[in-house]
Amino acid sequence: MRFLHLLPVGKIEARLLEGLRPHLTTAFGMPCRLLPNALDPAFAFQPGRQQYHSTEILDRLRTCVVPDTWRLLGVTAADVCIPILTFVFGEAQRNGACALVSTHRLRQEFYGLPPDSGLLEGRLLKEALHELGHTLDLRHCEDYTCAMAAAHSVEWIDLRAPRFCEHCRARIATKSLEREWVSAR
């Protein structure tokens, strides 16, 4: 049996990871398991930016993939970036095994607003679906309500639904059939 593994990257509330599990299991039809150890992202810290390089974390996540891993999603509270962008909400290996999402800029507190745990959990789910969709070779979707829609601000994430549009679901189903075919061989 293969699993969608969740890996804490640095300190992250366990309730956020536990809250993702049933939704991701339903969305991908794959059991979701929380890995017991956390990855320390200190190696990816960029002193000049006071942020963490998400691509370096993503590269390190590859070393955490085990034989029963279907996909590995790292979840961090750290502020993550790539050299050409001020920040990213997440990053994924397109058509690969690993993805990363950050809660840092998903929190209302980042924007000077009162905390809203329900909104944070919803945004995290949408970002997790989005980045895991990239691991299934999905590109950005033109349907702004689809989890695969591009989002360069948190307001755009809020417009997304926590699900894939019909077109993207069909592509995931195709990937599932490929997965079954490969595992049967």
Catalytically annotated residues: 131
Token pair, residue 84, equals 């050409």
User: Do 75 and 20 meet the contact criterion of CB atoms below 8 Å apart?
Assistant: yes
Residue type, 11: K
Angstrom distance (rounded) from CA 19 to CA 72: 16
User: Do 58 and 28 meet the contact criterion of CB atoms below 8 Å apart?
Assistant: no
Angstrom distance (rounded) from CA 106 to CA 142: 22
Which phi and psi (to 5°) does residue 33 adopt?
Answer: -125, 135
| β-strand pairing of 51-53 with 69-76 | unpaired
